[in-house]
Structure formats: C-alpha cells, structure tokens
Amino acid sequence: MNALEIIEAKKQGRVLEPAQIAHLVAGFTAGTIPEYQMAAFLMAVWFRGMSPEETAELTGCMLRSGEELDTSDLGGPSADKHSTGGVGDKVSLLLAPLAAACGLKVPMLSGRGLGHTGGTLDKLEAIPGYRIHMDNEEFLGIVAREGCAIIGQSGSIAPADGRIYALRDVTATVDCIPLITASIMSKKLAAGPRTIVIDLKTGSGAFMRDLEQARDLARALVAVGGAYGRRMSVIFSDMDQPLGRAVGHACETLEALDALRPGGRDRAPADLVLLTEELTADMVRVAGIAADRESALAIVRGVWDSGQALERMLAWVKAQDGRLDPDREDFGLEVAPLALEVAAPRDGWLAGLDCRQVGLALADMGGARRKVEDPLDLTCGIDFLPRIGDRIARGDVLARVLCAGQDQARSAGERLLAALVFADAAVEPRPLILDRLD
C-alpha cells in the first residue's frame, strides 16, 4: 500500500478502504509516513470530507494506537461526559460525584485548558496535593470504590491523536468535522465508558460558534459512538456568556464545591445548576438507571440535596491525595485577593458580550495559557456577575477581579468592559439549553 495513492484517492473525493486508513495512521504513528504526506492527507479530508464509515474507521485506528481501559469490572454501569469547552465550565467537578452518587461509575480522563477555555485538570490542580497521574489499575480502583476519579490523559491514550492534532494545528485543518470527531471520540472511547453524554457548546466563548455546524458535529459523534456500541446523547448549550459566576481555577473549584454543600443547589448560579442537572440526568437515563428524563432529574436532585455528592467528591479527591477541608469556608483553596471591581459605565440592559474576551482577561492575569508550555496562576480569577438581559444601573458592580497585581487586574478589567454590549431597551435573556440529540 502506498501513502501517495491514498492521498490521491481522497483528493479525488473517493471513499477509502479501512485498510488504507489503517495504513496511514499506523505509518504516521510509527514514523514511516512523513508529516508532509499526513498534512496533505488531512487537507484532502478537509476539502473532501469523510463518510460515516471512514470517520468511524479513522477513530478506531487512533483509538487502537494506544491503551484502552477495561471498565467491565467496576461494579456498575460506566458513563462519562465530554464538553467541547468554554469559559467558566466547571460542570465535570459537580457531575462526576453526582453521577457516582446516583450509582454510575465515572472514569474521566481530562485535559488542560488552552487559549480562552479552561481545562478540568487545571481546576483540580488548584486543590493542594491533588495527583493527576497514576497507573490505570489505581485509577480504575478509585472509580470502583468511590464511583468516580479524574486524571490527566497520559501519552499512552490515543497517541496518534496527539501527533495528528499537533499537525492539524499548524496546517489549518482543525476545523474539520470528521477530524474533530475522530479526535474527540478516540480519546473518550479509550477510557472505556459505555454511555457518553456530550455537552456541545456554541456561541462566542465556544470553539463552534454556529449551531448548525454544532448539529453536524453532534450527528458525527453519535454515529461513531454507535459504531463502537456506546449509548450517546448530546445537549447543545449556550456559551455566549460564562457558565456560573466564577472564572479561574481555584475560584471555579470553590464554586463547584459550594454548590454541593447542603442547600447549595438553591444558592448556586441557576445556569450552572440547570446544565449540571440536565447532563447528569442524561447520563443516568441513557445508562439505564432511570426510564425517562423526569425520573432521572428527580434522582439527581434528590442525591444533590442529600449531601451524598459532596461526600463522594471529598472521598474521590482524598483518594487522589487532594486535601480539602469542608469545615473551612474556602475548603483550604488558595484564592487571590480582590484587586478591582469593574463598575457599569452607564444605565441600560446587558445585550450581549464577547465571552471569549472573559477567558482572555483571565489569561491577562496569568490564569490561562496562550501556549501549551506556559505556567499558570491557579489563584487568580473573575467573578462575572450579570447575565444577558439583566437591567444595569450605572456604577453597578459587573465583575470582581481577583489577582495579586494591580496592573494585571486593570488590563483584565479594561478587557472585560470592552467585551460588553449595552442596550437602551429591554433584552430577552438567552436560553441555556438550545437543543438535544439522542
């Protein structure tokens, strides 16, 4: 088999045989097919696309390039959630222990944040002592005992994706649905969950800005999950404003922990509660613990209010050597002091915002990475208070910037203000859940 012929076939728009896709992925991973040929192939896929069968084959080849975890022995149905990423998205920290307390086993492999979006792993590293690396046996042991665990994805999980993604990043081939699908699903399938729920975000803080494109991606993800015997569901959620109020690692972890305290479901930001409940309920329903959405939601709310989810979180974090003190208001997390309050410059309604800029304001303070190797300040953060549609009076506090340096806080504050759009007449609040697909 010859890489040049495979590239030529895709360039002409032909459907590839499984063996051709396997040859390319295996050769590229082993180093016998050079980057320039893989780059040409990726660009051909960008222009010509892939059939559902080709996308499933590509996913399988990338999955089999590394280790696959065996979740058949965890003592309960396994389930996971994937979010396409956004600003203030701390849902995994709530959902994993909630789902565990509902009887699911949740083995989560998570990533770091890059650019304006945050990563669950960085939020967990704000917990003193929290260990993100361990071998698979220890990881699955914690999931079996405590119901959930979250670790970093090691280089042994879908290594072909790591290499192909790096090449896509420098060849303008990231925004391609079959390639995104294979990338996301090869990593998700490797962790072994039988049920996978996707939070597909669209809007100015998401990497998919447009709902129609998001629908195409959702269909491709569900088809690949189905091809590998997984039960899938997708919730399309709005990312035109931060999720919850806290943006920044320690602040977001604290917001999640606070929400799990007794009475926390009523006190926590309504959007965070709604999306967490809906995604967890989908896991519970699709995994077969509840027959329908209403009964799944009732189970999730009951478990949340009983305090069992907070207990699960404390037990799981302790098993990963994290130190949380529930007797302290801040759970023992280090959060930077208040440096600046951002005041509304005028009366009116909040009509919209460029949510990406909120993530970049965090980066201004050292709280997000512009490059993979950048160091991270886990203590700084932003309390972002208004929602689109809120009536605002001049001088109202719109955001609190938490940060050690005044200069950094000022530039973050200026960026936040520039991102806001005000109107003179009332504006409708935005719905959070935009659609669903099962």
Min. distance of Cβ 228 from ligand URA in angstroms?
A: 16
Min. distance of Cβ 42 from ligand URA in angstroms?
A: 11
249: annotated active-site residue: no
Site for ligand URA contains 185 (CB under 6 A): no
Min. distance of Cβ 175 from ligand URA in angstroms?
A: 9
C-alpha 189/C-alpha 196 separation (Å) is 9
Residue 317 phi, psi (nearest 5): -65, -40
Q: Measured in Å, how far apart are the chain's first and last C-alpha atoms? A: 39
C-alpha 389/C-alpha 47 separation (Å) is 40
183: annotated active-site residue: yes
Kindly tell me which of 56 and 281 has the beta carbon lying closer to ligand URA.
56
Size of the site for ligand URA (CB under 6 A): 5
From 168, 245, 312, 400, active-site residue: 168
C-alpha 346/C-alpha 365 separation (Å) is 26
Kindly tell me which of 77 and 113 has the beta carbon lying closer to ligand URA.
113
Kindly tell me which of 217 and 246 has the beta carbon lying closer to ligand URA.
217
- How far, in Å, are 246, 252, 359 from residue 90 at the CA level? 9, 6, 14
Place of tokens 């303008």: 172
Min. distance of Cβ 174 from ligand URA in angstroms?
A: 6
C-alpha 284/C-alpha 102 separation (Å) is 7
Kindly tell me which of 183 and 308 has the beta carbon lying closer to ligand URA.
183
From the list 89-97, 177-185, 212-220, 408-416, the region that binds ligand URA by CB under 6 A is: 177-185
245: annotated active-site residue: no
The single-letter code of the amino acid at 405 is G
Min. distance of Cβ 316 from ligand URA in angstroms?
A: 24
Min. distance of Cβ 18 from ligand URA in angstroms?
A: 21
Q: Which of 106, 126, 184, 335 binds ligand URA (CB under 6 A)?
A: 184
C-alpha 204/C-alpha 212 separation (Å) is 15
Site for ligand URA contains 237 (CB under 6 A): no
Kindly tell me which of 174 and 211 has the beta carbon lying closer to ligand URA.
174
Residue 109: partners with Cβ closer than 8 Å, 6 or more residues away: 150, 151, 152, 153, 157, 187, 190, 191
377: annotated active-site residue: no
194 CB neighbour count, 10 Å cutoff: 19
From the list 32-40, 180-188, 210-218, 294-302, the region that binds ligand URA by CB under 6 A is: 180-188
Contact 222, 234 (CB under 8 A): yes
Min. distance of Cβ 165 from ligand URA in angstroms?
A: 6
Kindly tell me which of 180 and 283 has the beta carbon lying closer to ligand URA.
180
Q: Which of 180, 246, 259, 434 binds ligand URA (CB under 6 A)?
A: 180
Q: Which residue is nearest to ligand URA (CB)?
A: 183
Kindly tell me which of 183 and 253 has the beta carbon lying closer to ligand URA.
183
From 163, 187, 285, 400, active-site residue: 187
Min. distance of Cβ 408 from ligand URA in angstroms?
A: 29
Where do the H-state alpha helices sit in 68-195? 91-101, 120-125, 136-146, 159-169, 177-190
**Strands 420-423 and 381-384, how do they pair?**
unpaired
Stretch (H or E) spanning 239: none
Site for ligand URA contains 183 (CB under 6 A): yes
From the list 129-137, 179-187, 195-203, 344-352, the region that binds ligand URA by CB under 6 A is: 179-187
Q: What is the DSSP letter of 78?
A: B
318: annotated active-site residue: no
The single-letter code of the amino acid at 412 is A
Residue 199: partners with Cβ closer than 8 Å, 6 or more residues away: 81, 82, 83, 84, 89, 91, 235, 237, 275, 279
Site string for ligand URA, 122-161 (x = CB under 6 A): ----------------------------------------
Q: Where are the beta strands (DSSP E) in 171-301?
A: 195-202, 231-238, 246-247
CA 71 remoteness from chain centre: 21
Kindly tell me which of 10 and 201 has the beta carbon lying closer to ligand URA.
201
CA 253 remoteness from chain centre: 14
Half-sphere exposure of residue 213, counting CA atoms within 13 Å on the CB side? 14
Strand partners, 79: 195
Binding site for ligand URA (CB under 6 A): 165, 174, 180, 183-184
- Give the residue numbers marked as catalytic: 82, 161, 168, 183, 187
